[in-house]
Amino acid sequence: MSSQSQPLSPSFSRPFEHALLEVAARPFPWGPGALLVVAFGLLPWLADDYWLNAILIPFLVLSLAGLGLNLLTGYTGQTSVGSAGFMAVGAFATYAFLLRVPALPLPLALLAGGAIAAGAGFVFGIPSKRIKGFYLMVTTLAAQFFLEWVFTKFPWFYNHASSGTISAPRLEVFGHDISGPGGRYVLTLSVVALLTWIAHNLVRGQVGRNWTAIRDMDTAAAVIGIEVDRYKRLAFAVSSFYLGIAGALWTFAYLGTASASSFDINRSFQILFIIIIGGMGSIAGNFIGAAFISLLPLFLSQAGQALLGSSVDPGQIQNLQKIIFGALIIAFLIKEPEGLARMLRRFAARLAVWPLRF
């Protein structure tokens, strides 16, 4: 609360517009702040290539993709299984900008790629005016297959390369070469941190509240004067913008290359699982979900090898891991259908009053 001690004037002599407006001073976000300090300041020095290249970068990119889909599905209530298609648009558009406009610096190319993806999202969001729920999901499925086909069919998109594969022509920001693991990590982290901050503010502002109103009941939202169609299309565009940038980062900062098949329907499902497991309508949930989906299989695989070693057939270990992974997902969803984010919040709340129970 504000520490301002000026007494409120009891009189109503001043016009209403001039009423003293008290804005609650937001406490400094120590948690995210500390995370950022660790992520920017310590990790690039502490983590080795394996951690940066194989764990942190894909985790961050998948979190960003989850965030993109969450804006559409978790906040606006429009289910989509076309996420990977929009990621592909972002990746191929960024590639086209980098290749054909050599003067464009990487951050601007990313932005432009995201903008093209937003345009594609806007177009595929138009049907949301008339159709809802499952039927809308089918149109996003069509978008997924259509976009995948486009990026296989027309060689212009991959610069007539023999295998339909694109690769990053240059990775430099303002003259600094960032093609090393550290550079790519910092690039990814900066983009993800910035976009997360924007999304966080977006969902707490006018736009986010309109989206939530539409998600909860679109008729009621229309009655109180929200332009439902416009905000749905906006959600598609913003979501695709995020997904497009995630796709570009996946291509250029993580793998170094991509083809249309890198963004197939399985990738869409992976992102959908991230937000279902992490938590719909939650920003932190995307990060938790991405960690669960991308890191747990690696952890299980390493643990399986360390514990069981060569005594058991490696194929069997792998199948065992799949069983454990599946069982964990089911267990989590039964225990907490609203996702891991909600579960952690409840756990924290319990900790705060411990040892009392509630």
Partner 1 sequence: MRNILKRTVLAATLAAALMGTAPVTQAATNEQFIPLPTYRVGPYASSGIPWWAGVIDYLRYINEVEGGVDGVKLVWKECETEWSTDRIVECYERYKKGYNGAPTAFFFTHSTPASYALMDKGVADRIPLVDPAGGRTESTDGSVFPYAFPLLLNYYSQASVGINYIAQKEGGFEKLKGKKIVTVFHDSAYGRETQAPMELLAKKYGFENIQIPVADPGNEQSAQWRQVRQIKPDWVFLRTWGVSTPVGIKTAARFGIPVDRLIGDVWAGSEADVLPAGAAAKGYQALAPFPGGADFEIHRRLRKFILDAGKSDLKDPKFFGSVYYNIGLINAAMAVEALRTGHRKFGNRPLNGEEGGWAFEHLDISDARLKEIGFFGLLQKLKLSCNEHEGGGAARVQQWDGKKWVLVTDWVQADRKALRPLIDAKAAAYAREKNIKPRDCS
Does 41 bind partner 1 (CB under 8 A)? Our answer is no
> Looking at 160-168, 202-210, 232-240, 330-338, which segment touches partner 1 (CB under 8 A)?
160-168
Does 180 bind partner 1 (CB under 8 A)? Our answer is yes
Angle at 86 between CA 80 and CA 88, to 5 degrees: 140
To the nearest whole angstrom, how small is the minimum distance from the Cβ of residue 256 to partner 1?
Answer: 5
To the nearest whole angstrom, how small is the minimum distance from the Cβ of residue 320 to partner 1?
Answer: 10
Other Cβ atoms within 10 Å of 51 Cβ, number: 14
Does 149 bind partner 1 (CB under 8 A)? Our answer is yes
Does 346 bind partner 1 (CB under 8 A)? Our answer is no
| From 261, 308, 329, 338, residue interacting with partner 1 (rule: CB under 8 A) | 261
To the nearest whole angstrom, how small is the minimum distance from the Cβ of residue 204 to partner 1?
Answer: 28
* Angstrom distance (rounded) from CA 213 to CA 211: 5
To the nearest whole angstrom, how small is the minimum distance from the Cβ of residue 315 to partner 1?
Answer: 4
* Angstrom distance (rounded) from CA 275 to CA 236: 16
To the nearest whole angstrom, how small is the minimum distance from the Cβ of residue 255 to partner 1?
Answer: 4
The token pair at 344 is 């952690």
The token pair at 331 is 């267990």
Is the N-terminal amide bond of 297 cis, ω within 30° of 0? no
Does 254 bind partner 1 (CB under 8 A)? Our answer is yes
CB 196 within 8 A of CB 33: no
DSSP states of 248-277: HHIIIIIISEE-GGGGSHHHHHHHHHHHHH
| From 255, 296, 343, 344, residue interacting with partner 1 (rule: CB under 8 A) | 255
Does 164 bind partner 1 (CB under 8 A)? Our answer is yes
- From residue 1, alpha-carbon distances to 22, 31, 291 in Å are 9, 19, 35
Residues contributing to the site for partner 1 (CB under 8 A):
49-50, 53-55, 58, 99, 149, 152, 162-165, 167, 169-170, 179-180, 254-257, 259-262, 298, 301, 305, 313-315, 317-319, 321-322, 351, 354-355
